[in-house]
Structure 1
């Protein structure tokens, strides 16, 4: 079974609120380095007043209002969530057709210097725990073992409680230059777009960061970003470097400095929010009218010890693109694709849309379809057959019961699952629930 991919692997609300007011000097350059899988992005999204099935006016629960007042007094922001996900597979290679997983997250953000000013220096930390509940495999692993060439739940994996992100970040030069350094979640920065958070939106890796990118996950690194064209321009540039040896809850600083095994990327794009305040539930290139191209490279990887069947690995490299645009105030479409080596897929192309009912701003409907050609070179043992190309479709509806509790039924239909050539199709029925606190 696909050992390299199992070893290597373990979506911010996308639609706009009301039109933004004219920018001030401080917010002319929105942060390019926060999304809902980052600490600050996750906190900011949960603290945004929303309308739901139980409240017709934008509401913020009393607990969240208290946390806002606490942050204003102390410079400390905190919060978290607990989610559960159950997936049922129509076919499986293991005989276990159901996977049940849980995900706990606690986030904290502390202003270290210049509190409340545009150049505030902040320290962010995320503590997480992810595990199967009553089943042998978490949904991440179970989807692959069911035969899908792409994980059917991109980040619902299995690791014990620990620190998964810890970094400093700052915006300087009047917002024109931004940086993040520390232990960070690399996919939050590489080829990200508004629907890539599988806690809130699509579950399949087909619709998150491109499956052609051999990106590390959680480890030491840095990202810098800026607007070279000035506050009135739409051009942005983002670049980063991470250790290729990530660790979910461990520290990888030694790997970054002592092992010549790194992942690099450069992204150039156009952001409709370059001259406007912080956009729709997420920041930077994950805006409602975005185009970007991402170039990346990963060094060759040496075995880490005897019996390491996932290595050696050759150098990996590729290119990916993203286009997402608003069709009207409540509908966003996207088109994404990539070409690369070393990832889950050699080539992929996906498209779809998200729709937010105007009467319930916390709800979201999404539909996506994607094609991927698997990278046979990542299989550690020879196979007597070629892996077929896979077509993945997914539809979901996130129903917000209250401003901090949502349930999401999800259905994935996979044609020619790459890792199970013995079947023509694979159906995955999922139910996700998330409570923010």
Structure 2
């Protein structure tokens, strides 16, 4: 929660005062059997980088507001939690199944199995269709899937997500509808989002997205609208100005709407 203006959620990539942490340390194995591409992951990983995602789920390269790019009705465990995940393409079809079981109480700053004994597990199942090859990550593009999740404290939910990229025009689109049970400890109980991006000037990109959500046990509806322009200055360096309009922050009794300006720089090696 951004306490300075009462918004339920985050308007920028999550920062913390943790001194160090490992979010991914896993073994990935391909186990293709005949025409069925199979991949299995075991170790410390992030559920929100695998389950119910789109090509636009990275807030370092596209939208910054997490309520637009990630599903806030899912009770994701912390990044760096221990678990097992994998997917399988159904032979001679464009369908796939993805699933995972993870420690619901893991922390990325502690590579420990201690919390596994708590008996709280995040379980997720995704069933989808794609016109891409399921054997690699390209199946995230041109994808429609149903996502189901559950934790042992009776939090559960479901969602429908789709994305499509028009390669010739360099236009990308995505949309999502999702729901969680009334007692779920998630930012939203009901949720909808959609967005569009357009490639411009070689590798640069512009985007416009919006989300609507209702926090659990609340009658207040929040709406987020964000526009960004990612200027790819060089192959490994990008500058991204953005503007967000956040309507009706649920815990702000004085301001009906808030405007957030952002400027992000990203350097890769």
Normalising to structure 2: TM-score of the pair?
0.92
Partner of 1:273: 132
Give unmatched runs, 5+ long, in structure 2: none
Partner of 2:119: 260
Give unmatched runs, 5+ long, in structure 1: 1-140, 301-314, 377-385
Q: Structure 1 pair 387/418, CA: closer, same or farther in 2 (3 Å)?
A: farther
Is the deviation greater in 218-227 or in 149-158?
Answer: 149-158
Q: Structure 1 pair 243/284, CA: closer, same or farther in 2 (3 Å)?
A: farther
Q: Structure 1 pair 290/144, CA: closer, same or farther in 2 (3 Å)?
A: farther
Distance 1:208 1:159 in 2: 24
Partner of 1:323: 162
Distance 2:17 2:85 in 1: 27
Partner of 2:209: 368
Deviation by residue 1:21-51 (Cα, 9 ceiling, x = unmatched): xxxxxxxxxxxxxxxxxxxxxxxxxxxxxxx
* 2:87 corresponds to 1:225: yes
CA drift of 1:401 comes to 0.8
Greater RCO, 1 or 2 (C-alpha within 8 Å, sep 6+): 1
- The answer on whether the counterparts of 1:271 and 1:285 sit within 8 Å (CA) in structure 2 is yes
Determine helix, strand or coil for the equivalent of 2:22: strand
Distance 2:113 2:32 in 1: 28
Deviation by residue 1:378-412 (Cα, 9 ceiling, x = unmatched): xxxxxxxx552101001101101110010100111
Partner of 1:210: 71
Partner of 1:145: 4
CA drift of 1:163 comes to 2.0
Partner of 2:230: 398
Matches within 5 A, 1:85-164: 143-164=2-23
Normalising to structure 1: TM-score of the pair?
0.57
Distance 2:185 2:5 in 1: 22
Q: Structure 1 pair 158/146, CA: closer, same or farther in 2 (3 Å)?
A: farther
Partner of 2:178: 338
Q: Answer 1 or 2: which has greater helix percent.
A: 1
* 2:58 corresponds to 1:197: yes
CA drift of 1:328 comes to 5.2
Q: Structure 1 pair 419/154, CA: closer, same or farther in 2 (3 Å)?
A: farther
Distance 1:404 1:194 in 2: 19
CA drift of 1:190 comes to 1.6
CA drift of 1:299 comes to 1.2
Number of residue pairs matched by the alignment: 262
Matches within 5 A, 1:23-34: none
Distance 2:20 2:264 in 1: 21
Partner of 2:140: 286
Distance 1:214 1:286 in 2: 21
CA drift of 1:352 comes to 1.2
- The answer on whether the counterparts of 1:154 and 1:205 sit within 8 Å (CA) in structure 2 is yes
- The answer on whether the counterparts of 1:295 and 1:318 sit within 8 Å (CA) in structure 2 is yes
Q: Structure 1 pair 180/147, CA: closer, same or farther in 2 (3 Å)?
A: same
Larger radius of gyration: 1
Distance 1:422 1:316 in 2: 32
Distance 1:185 1:158 in 2: 19
Partner of 1:234: 94
